[in-house]
Amino acid sequence: MAFNNKIAPRSVDLSDWYLSVVEQAGLADYGPVKGTMIILPYGYAIWEKIVAFMDHEIKQKGVENAYFPLFIPESFLTKEKKHVEGFAPECAYVTIGGGETLTERLVVRPTSETIMYHTYAKLISSHRDLPLVMNQWNNVVRWEKRTFPFLRTSEFLWQEGHGAHATKEENYEMVEWGIRFYEKTFRDLLAVPGIVGKKSESEKFAGADSTLTYETLMPSGKALQSCTSHDLGQNFSKTFEIKFQDKDGTSKFVWQNSWGFSTRSIGAMVLAHGDDKGLVLPPRVAPIQVIILVIRPTEKLDIQAKKIASELKGHGIRVKIDSDDTKSVGYRINDAEIRGIPLRLELGQRELDQNQLTLAKRNTGEKLTFSVDQIVSQVPQLLETIHNEMLTKAENFLNENIRDATSYEEFKQILETHRGFVRVFWNQSEESETKIKLDCKCVSRCLPLDQEAKQGKDFQTGEPSTTQWLFAQAY
Amino acid sequence: MAFNNKIAPRSVDLSDWYLSVVEQAGLADYGPVKGTMIILPYGYAIWEKIVAFMDHEIKQKGVENAYFPLFIPESFLTKEKKHVEGFAPECAYVTIGGGETLTERLVVRPTSETIMYHTYAKLISSHRDLPLVMNQWNNVVRWEKRTFPFLRTSEFLWQEGHGAHATKEENYEMVEWGIRFYEKTFRDLLAVPGIVGKKSESEKFAGADSTLTYETLMPSGKALQSCTSHDLGQNFSKTFEIKFQDKDGTSKFVWQNSWGFSTRSIGAMVLAHGDDKGLVLPPRVAPIQVIILVIRPTEKLDIQAKKIASELKGHGIRVKIDSDDTKSVGYRINDAEIRGIPLRLELGQRELDQNQLTLAKRNTGEKLTFSVDQIVSQVPQLLETIHNEMLTKAENFLNENIRDATSYEEFKQILETHRGFVRVFWNQSEESETKIKLDCKCVSRCLPLDQEAKQGKDFQTGEPSTTQWLFAQAY
């Protein structure tokens, strides 16, 4: 991989910066088909860390993994009216297979509700079969006109969980579990804080009764819908005839939920933490947590580097040794910074003689000095500290960029001056949301779950309101 | 999941048996599109065990995972003449995306050589970039007319490894590593023995110089090409212009290999080990290794069951407790047998009072009696024994079904009477292979790597030959 060390300045143009970092850190490349993306090893290794964490949590919850076909008969998709309206414009269709024109077009899955629930109807007959919750790790296709690596690509990787439950209440508990599980993943793994809330009627998932979302705020001041969990009610069970005989002997439709988390999360993480030097990776997903940079390598230094690396690996730390003396030290430091490696240990003969090794923290640029004996015991704690510092910094940015408005004028002014989230009392209506969209290129992001009940007035109509929504321009 | 306990007898019709076992054990179901398959949780859990083992080995070898797009421009596939001839008839084409007819048809990947090597050409410029070896875990589509769950489906899951190397020799080492890695996986994980060998010219991969294969023998006497590793030579590097500057300053084309292992392996495992009662799972991939069947459950018995289960889990054993007294003991034993669970512990009050617990081995039906204290320490060793017994049994079957023929008459007679592998001296030629295919519905399977050099005569022409090939009818 060639690094030409030309990261576009982040402060000048965030999009240019993002594209150059994604390329130069070796996270991803463009696919030959417009809108598709190649996830290169360094980017894929981050996804593997996310998958490992999430898959463990999913299994702990008792959800089982399965795999459903990529191709969905078009007739399945059209069964649920709102679902097909939402997805049809984004679909890719297979029309030729095995040398013949197909009698029915096949949709390349944009999401798997319809094909899974066709099978759920066969697997469920009694209350003893419930809850039935399956998860898939797979690829989905949604044709996009404007694409951006990780954040919006025509094909992406994700997990999609699908639950069927006996009662409305138990079902909603699962919808909430889904979004809280995502919140945990974003905070604990990616150090990306966000707001958990409910989508408005016009912004909810096509086919859902309601949608919970995790909204993050990017340094541009634009929001990103980072993942969602849907309460599907009985919309699909009525369409796909998923019934069960309850304990009381009556036949009932199941209640359903679905929840998805994708490679978009990597884009959110890159945007949230990076700086002018490149990526800044949260330690828990960093493919390399510590790079040992050997300065003017000698046999003695290499042995010392391997000893330290081996001890760190023994503590479960991911380490890489860089002894490549065909490149300058400056170039190698630059490279480690572009790739966002959380800790850099500089190991030279002088440092060894003085028994003073330097650890550089990627997130703050701080340099800490330790004796050789201290290094191994310090690293795990330092990685924790870095995670916490990154999360706190991002939380501060988020909190500083939630501003209250009481009138539409004030609302528009905040958007123009600061972007960020604008918090308003709002009695949602489709007409008002359409108007705001036209005026401000902005829609409601969510009605946050974690806020106290308050009394106020709708920011447009002045009517009494108890619901405080967040609005923002978005990716 | 409903079990009606109607496993078709294996001895009467292996295909019927196979289909009923796949369904009733809950491994898979048919997808709505002809030729596609739903991998249900019990089947997917087996695949996850295989993936975990293989992914670890792949990483140990220093190979990095990545992800390339599902959609390949048709022009990519047609670049390598033999490659497209082999794959085009099996391809599915996307012709409509985002509501518009596409200007170029997109192939849903049947394999990723072309799309990956397009990128390899960008990543490789110097000998320092080599070897470059990436692996993908993904789904591929090959349109099939005659399908069979796991063994032949229009979409399947697999890994595909792709290496680019500086020299022909280093490249071939990787081709061999690939097939030996698969042999290890089949033997050590799935207890399925096989023959490692080279494919004939007419049977090799479309676009390869040569193909190594792992050929297994199913109880029907038919062979199964279980996985392959290809020496691609410089065929693709010349087409995709993958060049590097060597140490001597000259520009050279890289040497390449690719190797794939798929969900077909699960089909091979099911066929190889099952019996009239259902699945027999090799312990290392069994999602449940021990089922504790509580007979006439009481609170005291449940506590004892949980205690044993917890101790077994502490030893890394996968355990399930079945305390479902709404079903008869007979039904529950039957169910555990259909699902192929390696060990069944029967726990009743009488057994506990007498301090004599019975462990039933699924593979042999043997029942072993232990005191309560002995159980936990016995299970790990017993699971190892079961694996070894299953492998030995399958090896004996394989060895007993390799028969030598010295003439075409003898060859045909063996195929008619016994099926199985027929071993012959053969100086391969396309004409002779075509004739054999017409006469016997049978092609060469491979030239085994692990055999001593011998002198003989070609079984058809009588000419001197030193190459002993295996032939068989195949899936």
Of A304-308, B9-13, B30-34, the range with the lowest mean pLDDT is B9-13
| Contact yes or no for A91 and B69 at CB 8 A | no
First to last CA, chain A: 30
Give the 3-state secondary structure of A256-275.
Answer: EEEEEEECHHHHHHHHHHCE
Kindly identify which residue of chain A lies nearest to residue B134, measuring between CA atoms.
Answer: A41
Residues 25-64 of A with CB under 8 A from B: 29, 31-33, 36-41, 44-45, 47-48, 64
Kindly identify which residue of chain A lies nearest to residue B71, measuring between CA atoms.
Answer: A33
Please report residues of B whose CB lies closer than 8 A to that of A95: 93-96
CA distances from A319 to A28, A305, A311, B74 (A): 22, 10, 10, 42
Residue A2 confidence class, pLDDT cut points 50, 70, 90: very low
Q: Which tokens sit at B75?
A: 């022009």
| Contact yes or no for A119 and B93 at CB 8 A | no
pLDDT beyond 50 at A266: yes
Please report residues of A whose CB lies closer than 8 A to that of B99: 88-89, 143
For residues B310 and B178, state if they share a domain: no
Residue among B47, B73, B143 whose CB faces A32 most closely = B73
User: Is residue B384, in this structure, part of any structural domain at all?
Assistant: no
Mean pLDDT over each residue of chain B, to the nearest integer:
95
Q: Does B78 touch chain A (CB under 8 A)?
A: no
Written as one letter, the residue type at A134 is M
Mean pLDDT of B129-155: 96
Please report residues of B whose CB lies closer than 8 A to that of A45: 64-65
Instruction: Name the one residue in this structure whose structure tokens are 């023995």.
Output: B193
Which are the contacts of A269, defined by CB distance < 8 A and separation ≥ 6? Answer: A46, A190, A191, A192, A281, A282, A285
Please report residues of A whose CB lies closer than 8 A to that of B3: none
| Contact yes or no for A44 and B33 at CB 8 A | no
Q: What angle do CA A11, A16, A18 make, to 5 degrees?
A: 85
For residues A136 and A20, state if they share a domain: yes
Which are the contacts of B8, defined by CB distance < 8 A and separation ≥ 6? Answer: B16, B17, B19, B20
- How far away is chain B from the Cα of A91, in angstroms, using its nearest Cα? 6
B348-357 per-position pLDDT tens digit: 999 999 999 9
Q: What pLDDT, on the 0 to 100 scale, is given for residue B5?
A: 59
User: Is residue A193, in this structure, part of any structural domain at all?
Assistant: yes
Kindly identify which residue of chain A lies nearest to residue B153, measuring between CA atoms.
Answer: A69
Residue among B72, B92, B123 whose CB faces A94 most closely = B92
For residues B366 and B424, state if they share a domain: no
| Contact yes or no for A38 and B64 at CB 8 A | no
Please report residues of B whose CB lies closer than 8 A to that of A65: 41, 44-45, 48
DSSP class per residue in B46-106: HHHHHHHHHHHHHHHTT-EE-B--SEEEHHHHTTSHHHHHHHGGG-EEEEEETTEEEEEEE
Please report residues of A whose CB lies closer than 8 A to that of B143: 97-99
| Contact yes or no for B1 and A108 at CB 8 A | no
User: Is residue B185, in this structure, part of any structural domain at all?
Assistant: yes
Distance of CA B397 to the CA centre of its chain: 18
B287-310 per-position pLDDT tens digit: 999 999 999 999 999 999 999 999
Q: What pLDDT, on the 0 to 100 scale, is given for residue B3?
A: 44
Mean pLDDT of B199-210: 94
Using DSSP's 3-state secondary structure scheme, residue B335 falls into: helix
Domain count, chain A: 3
Give the 3-state secondary structure of chain A.
Answer: CCCCCCCCCCCCCHHHHHHHHHHHCCCEEECCCCCCEEECHHHHHHHHHHHHHHHHHHHHCCCEECECCCEEEHHHHCCCHHHHHHHHHHCEEEEEECCEEEEEEEEECCCCHHHHHHHHHHHCCEHHHCCEEEEEEEEEECCCCCCECCCECCEEEEEEEEEEECCHHHHHHHHHHHHHHHHHHHHHHCCCCCEEEECCCCCCCCCCCEEEEEEEECCCCCEEEEEEEEEEECHHHHHCCCEEECCCCCEEECEEEEEEEECHHHHHHHHHHCECCECCCCCCCCCCCEEEEECCCCHHHHHHHHHHHHHHHHCCCCEEEECCCCCCHHHHHHHHHHCCCCEEEEECHHHHHCCCEEEEECCCCCEEEECHHHHHHHHHHHHHHHHHHHHHHHHHHHHHCEEECCCHHHHHHHHHHCCCEEEEECCCCHHHHHHHHHHHCCEEEEEECCCCCCCEECCCCCCEECCEEEEECEC
For residues B30 and B169, state if they share a domain: yes
Q: Does B91 touch chain A (CB under 8 A)?
A: yes
Among B119, B65, B69, residue whose Cα is nearest residue B94: B69
For residues B82 and B167, state if they share a domain: yes
Q: What pLDDT, on the 0 to 100 scale, is given for residue A7?
A: 84
Residue among B33, B98, B123 whose CB faces A1 most closely = B123
**Distance between CA B258 and CA B175 in Å, rounded?**
7
pLDDT beyond 90 at A146: no
**Distance between CA B216 and CA B364 in Å, rounded?**
22
| Contact yes or no for A97 and B91 at CB 8 A | yes
DSSP class per residue in B113-145: HHHHHHHHHHH--BGGG-SEEEEEEEEEE---S
Residue among B2, B36, B47 whose CB faces A69 most closely = B36
Domain termination residue (choose one: A273, A307, A324): A273
Among B370, B383, B373, B266, residue whose Cα is nearest residue B319: B383
For residues B124 and B52, state if they share a domain: yes
Q: Does B14 touch chain A (CB under 8 A)?
A: no
User: Is residue B142, in this structure, part of any structural domain at all?
Assistant: yes
Q: What pLDDT, on the 0 to 100 scale, is given for residue A82?
A: 87
| Contact yes or no for A123 and B1 at CB 8 A | yes
pLDDT beyond 60 at A74: yes
For residues B160 and B249, state if they share a domain: yes
Mean pLDDT of A22-47: 97
B77-106 per-position pLDDT tens digit: 999 888 888 888 999 999 999 999 999 999
Q: What angle do CA B75, B76, B77 make, to 5 degrees?
A: 95
**Distance between CA B151 and CA B282 in Å, rounded?**
18
Overall residue count recorded for chain A in this entry: 475
Residue among B73, B106, B139 whose CB faces A70 most closely = B139
Give the 3-state secondary structure of A381-431.
Answer: HHHHHHHHHHHHHHHHHHHHCEEECCCHHHHHHHHHHCCCEEEEECCCCHH
pLDDT beyond 80 at A5: no
Q: What is the CATH number of the domain that holds B342?
A: 3.40.50.800
Domain that holds residue B313: 290-378
Please report residues of A whose CB lies closer than 8 A to that of B98: 89-92, 143-145
User: Is residue A278, in this structure, part of any structural domain at all?
Assistant: no
| Contact yes or no for A97 and B99 at CB 8 A | no
Q: Contact B237/B243 with Cβ under 8 angstroms?
A: yes
Upper half-sphere CA count for residue A427 (Cβ side, 13 Å): 11
Would you give the DSSP letter of residue B9?
P
Residue B2 confidence class, pLDDT cut points 50, 70, 90: very low
Please report residues of A whose CB lies closer than 8 A to that of B45: 64-65
Please report residues of A whose CB lies closer than 8 A to that of B129: 1
Q: What is the CATH number of the domain that holds A258?
A: 3.30.930.10
pLDDT beyond 60 at B4: no
Kindly identify which residue of chain B lies nearest to residue A120, measuring between CA atoms.
Answer: B1
Upper half-sphere CA count for residue B339 (Cβ side, 13 Å): 26
pLDDT beyond 80 at A3: no
| Contact yes or no for A69 and B2 at CB 8 A | no
Residue A9 confidence class, pLDDT cut points 50, 70, 90: confident
Please report residues of A whose CB lies closer than 8 A to that of B33: 69, 71-73, 106
- How far away is chain B from the Cα of A188, in angstroms, using its nearest Cα? 24
Please report residues of B whose CB lies closer than 8 A to that of A140: none
pLDDT beyond 80 at A254: yes
Count other Cβ atoms within 10 Å, centred on residue B146: 7
For residues B40 and B77, state if they share a domain: yes
User: Is residue A225, in this structure, part of any structural domain at all?
Assistant: yes
For residues A225 and A298, state if they share a domain: no
Residue A211 confidence class, pLDDT cut points 50, 70, 90: very high
pLDDT beyond 70 at A197: yes
pLDDT beyond 50 at B44: yes
Domain termination residue (choose one: A248, A273, A298): A273
pLDDT beyond 80 at A4: no
Q: What pLDDT, on the 0 to 100 scale, is given for residue B84?
A: 87
For residues A244 and A269, state if they share a domain: yes
E runs forming strands in B218-328: 223-233, 243-245, 251-253, 255-262, 290-294, 319-322
- What residues does B195 pair with on adjacent strands? B215
Burial B172-197 (b: 16+ CB within 10 A, else e): bebbbbbbebbbebbbebbbbbbbbb
Domain termination residue (choose one: A240, A273, A306): A273
Q: What is the CATH number of the domain that holds B430?
A: 3.30.110.30
Q: Does A72 touch chain B (CB under 8 A)?
A: yes
| Contact yes or no for A96 and B99 at CB 8 A | no
Using DSSP's 3-state secondary structure scheme, residue B154 falls into: coil
Mean pLDDT over each residue of chain A, to the nearest integer:
95
- How far away is chain B from the Cα of A113, in angstroms, using its nearest Cα? 14
Instruction: Tell if the pTM clears 0.90, that is, is over it.
Output: yes
User: Is residue B438, in this structure, part of any structural domain at all?
Assistant: yes
Among A314, A315, A367, residue whose Cα is nearest residue A343: A367
CA distances from A399 to A194, A205, A426, A454 (A): 10, 27, 20, 19
As a dihedral over the C-alpha atoms of residue B415, residue B420, residue B422, residue B428, rounded to 10 degrees, the angle is 90
Please report residues of A whose CB lies closer than 8 A to that of B64: 41, 44-45
| Contact yes or no for A66 and B38 at CB 8 A | yes
Mean pLDDT of B174-178: 98
Which of B30, B37, B71 should we substitute to test contact with A (largest number of A Cβ atoms within 10 Å)?
B71
Q: Does A286 touch chain B (CB under 8 A)?
A: no
**Distance between CA A436 and CA A51 in Å, rounded?**
38
Q: Does B126 touch chain A (CB under 8 A)?
A: no
Q: What pLDDT, on the 0 to 100 scale, is given for residue B118?
A: 97
Mean pLDDT of A83-89: 88
User: Is residue B391, in this structure, part of any structural domain at all?
Assistant: no
B369-423 per-position pLDDT tens digit: 999 999 999 999 999 999 999 999 999 999 999 999 999 999 999 999 999 999 9
Residue among A65, A91, A99 whose CB faces B48 most closely = A65
Please, is B367 exposed, middle or buried when counting C-beta atoms within 10 Å of its C-beta (0-12, 13-18, 19+)? exposed
Q: What pLDDT, on the 0 to 100 scale, is given for residue B82?
A: 87
Max CA pair span of chain B: 81
Kindly identify which residue of chain A lies nearest to residue B55, measuring between CA atoms.
Answer: A48
Q: Contact B172/B412 with Cβ under 8 angstroms?
A: no
Upper half-sphere CA count for residue B321 (Cβ side, 13 Å): 20
- How far away is chain B from the Cα of A153, in angstroms, using its nearest Cα? 10
pLDDT beyond 60 at A263: yes
Among B195, B231, B229, residue whose Cα is nearest residue B214: B195
CA distances from A426 to A139, A205, A445, A473 (A): 37, 21, 12, 17
| Contact yes or no for B90 and A68 at CB 8 A | no
Q: Contact B338/B386 with Cβ under 8 angstroms?
A: no
Which of A59, A85, A94 should we substitute to test contact with B (largest number of B Cβ atoms within 10 Å)?
A94
For residues A349 and A433, state if they share a domain: no
Would you give the DSSP letter of residue B315?
T
For residues A222 and A352, state if they share a domain: no
Residue among B37, B65, B157 whose CB faces A41 most closely = B65
